[in-house]
Each structure stands twice: as structure tokens, then as C-alpha cells.
Structure 1
Amino acid sequence: MATKRIRDMIRHWHDRGYTTPEIATILHLPEPEVTDIINSKDQPATTGHGPEFSDIPLFD
């Protein structure tokens, strides 16, 4: 599992045009792991908390 610093480097290099095999070779990581990190950048991090506000009335 890559650290946050490594994940940030992978995303930065990918944005600059490096290919997945190039990044994997430079960092000595398997290509599927690099691909997973690149693909997960658009997904928001889940906190595990429920909704902050609810539409259900508490009192009638």
C-alpha cells in the first residue's frame, strides 16, 4: 500500500503526462496499484459519517 506522499506523486506525474508503466517502473510498484491510485483520484473520500442534516421532522 502506498503512502499519501506516493499517491500524490503518482497523481501529479500522471497529470504531467507520465504513463502508468513509467510511473510503476520509477517507483518500483506494480502497474495495477498505480492504475488503482490514478483511477481513485476522482472519487471523494468517505468519512463513514451519516448525513449532517436530515429532512425528517423531529417534532410534529
Structure 2
Amino acid sequence: MKDRFVANQNAHLEMVLQQMTERLLQATSRLMARQGRPPQCNYEKKQNVWSLATSRRHCVE
């Protein structure tokens, strides 16, 4: 029972962290665009990297 709770907590925290990361990347891209500088990172690429990293971690566990 405790293991399931911990797994659920981890999944929830991972989702929250991913949402925060996405919001930060979006805000950074908007800010840089407003300042006339091209974004240094590709938002979609970061999303794919995040998905790949989390899916790999789930496979290992």
C-alpha cells in the first residue's frame, strides 16, 4: 500500500514538474521574442527530450 502511495506521489510530482518546466520554457521564449532575440532553445525539442527522459526512467524502474 505504501509503495503504491509513493508511486502515485512520484507520478504527481513528475507531472507538476513537467508542467512548470513547460510554462518556464514558454515564458522564456515569449520574453526573448519580445526583446527581438531568437529563442536559443527549441521548445518542442525540449518537450521531446523531457518525454524521452521520463519514459526511459519508467522503463528502468
Could you say whether these structures have the same fold, taking a TM-score greater than 0.5 normalized by the shorter chain as the test? no
Give the helix-richer structure, 1 or 2.
2
Radius of gyration: which is bigger? 1
Q: TM-score, normalised by structure 2?
A: 0.31
Q: TM-score, normalised by structure 1?
A: 0.31
